[in-house]
Amino acid sequence: METIDLMDNLTSLQFEQGIREEEIPWLFLQSRSRGLMIQACAHAAFFCKLLQALRKMDGITSVSMLPSEEEEEEDPYKKPSKRHLKVGIIGGGRLGKQLALVLLHWASVPAQSLHISTRRPETLSDLQKMGIQCFYHNCFLVDWANLVFLCCLPSQLPHICLEINTRLEKSCIVYSLVTAVPLPRLKQLLCHTNILRPQYQCAEAYIDIWGSNEDIKSALQDPEIVQATSPYSTDGGITLNIKWLEAVFYAALNMCTLKEIPYQQTLEILSDLCLSVHPKTCGEDKTSCPRFTVTEFVNQAFAKTLNPSNVFPWFDLITVQLKETPFSQHLRKSVTLQEHLTVLYCASFGISLSQEIEEEEKEEEEEAPGPQS
């Protein structure tokens, strides 16, 4: 259903009309807040798509992170299989609700695989009608979920962590969207190391490309916005600390370790899943395109001790995000890898960068002045 802005063209009722003249320079904070929420939801969806693809893998059927007609036609009320990722959200406020809608639409998380724990579940009737279970029981949610998003207020976090820290399984991933609470503090509160926390930096020279629509799910249909949320993008004045992307891949390795997949097969799976979408610079010859190797994730000394049947070790995601790793160096040095991951990220939202570039070039040619007589 298309969202209609009832205040469109009614200038006297719009937010800006109540702002005093001396407060006008601060209006950009409203757009920046929206930009941060779009970024957070988009990155969470990308992470879920990667984990979802790995969980669905059965050794026979190939997996993909790209949108498919099969996923679009899939009944959201159909009972999910055991291989579906079970996602829990703690916090049913503005961010929690928007995140749930984005995960349903863009990460192909079935409604029955998504639970929300909030102090006021009665306010989420729209989500409940979609098949999402909404209740107030943080421990029950953590016992059930494979991935838990923290979308609460910073003031609520210590109490929530005290509730759930003894219920977290080693394999359960906690993804924190709580601002102002750093990773070391999260580790202390949760007594857990399988935690991701994206960090964003806002530039002084802010560029407003984020629009005004509150519907984040619809905003991610805009190619310009999707490209601005790409991990290596600086468009829109909001940048992502690339350590997040690094932790995403180590979390994927941990999932393959849980499935007891030998490390060489794990590298093949990740290469096929994440590097099979190519930038335009690759041309027709794909032989020079990157493939993941073992020494890109562990040091050479450890790699030499691995036998073909060995799995990767279990990685501490907090350490990955706070310290230098072999993958840190590889991500910085390999521009080709950065390009492939950027193309994959946009393609996971149905945006073809090659097509976008071709259309831009065509528009530039049409706008260019012809030869003068």
What is the full DSSP assignment across 276-334? SS--GGG-S--TTS----GGGTS-HHHHTT--TTPPPPPP-HHHHHHS--HHHHHHHH-
CB atoms closer than 10 angstroms to residue 371? 4
In the three-class reduction of DSSP (H, G, I as helix; E, B as strand; rest coil), residue 202 is classed as: strand
Q: Dihedrals φ, ψ of 147, to 5°?
A: -140, 125
Q: Is the pLDDT of residue 7 over 60?
A: no
CA-CA distance, 170 to 152, in Å (whole number)? 22
Q: Residue 33 CA to chain centroid, in angstroms?
A: 17
pLDDT band at residue 216 under the 50/70/90 scheme: very high
pLDDT at 273: 93
DSSP 81-112: PTTS--EEEE--SHHHHHHHHHHHHHS---GG
Q: What is the pLDDT of residues 46-64, one digit of tens each?
A: 999 999 999 887 654 456 7
Mean pLDDT of 78-104: 89
Question: Based on the number of CB atoms within 10 Å of its own CB, is 328 exposed (0-12), middle (13-18) or buried (19 or more)?
Answer: middle
| pLDDT for residue 68 | 62
* Three-class SS state of 42: helix
The pLDDT of residue 217 is above 70: yes
Reported as a single tens digit per residue, the pLDDT across 321-333 is: 999 999 999 999 9
What is the per-residue pLDDT for 33?
Answer: 86
Phi-psi region of 26 (alpha: psi -120 to 50; beta: other; left: phi over 0): alpha
Torsion angle in degrees (nearest 10) through CA of 238, 146, 247, 153? 40
3-state secondary structure of 89: strand
Distance CA 182, CA 176 (A): 9
Where is average pLDDT lowest: 32-41, 223-232, 361-370? 361-370
**For 38-42, 155-159, 205-209, which range has the lowest pLDDT when averaged over its residues?**
205-209
Q: Which residues, 6 or more positions from 325, have their beta carbon under 8 angstroms from its beta carbon?
A: 246, 250, 297
* Residue that wins the pLDDT comparison between 87 and 287: 87
Question: What are 295-341's pLDDT values in tens digits?
Answer: 999 999 999 999 999 999 999 999 999 999 999 999 999 999 999 99
* Model confidence at 358: pLDDT above 50: no
Q: Which residues contact 355 (CB under 8 A, 6 or more apart)?
A: none
Backbone torsion region of residue 173, taken as left when φ is above 0, otherwise alpha when ψ lies between -120 and 50, otherwise beta:
beta
Strand partners, 114: 87
What pTM value is reported for the model?
0.86
At 171-201, the pLDDT tens digits run: 999 999 998 899 999 999 999 999 999 999 9
R_g of the chain, CA atoms, integer Å:
22
pLDDT above 90: residue 162? yes
Q: How confident is the model at residue 151 (pLDDT cuts 50, 70, 90)?
A: very high
User: What's at 43, amino acid-wise?
Assistant: H
Torsion (CA) 294, 300, 301, 305 in degrees, nearest 10: 30
CA dist list (Å): 282 to 50, 318, 336: 23, 34, 9
pLDDT at 242 exceeding the cut of 90: yes
Cβ atoms < 10 Å from Cβ of 301: 8
pLDDT at 354 over 70: no
End-to-end Cα separation, the chain, in angstroms: 53
**Do residues 280 and 354 touch, judged by C-beta distance below 8 A?**
yes
CATH entry 3.40.50.720 includes domain 26-241: yes
DSSP assignment letter at 227: H
- Reply yes or no on whether the pLDDT at 24 is more than 80: no
Q: Dihedral of CA 334/290/273/266: which sign?
A: negative
Q: Where are the domains of the chain?
A: 26-241, 246-365
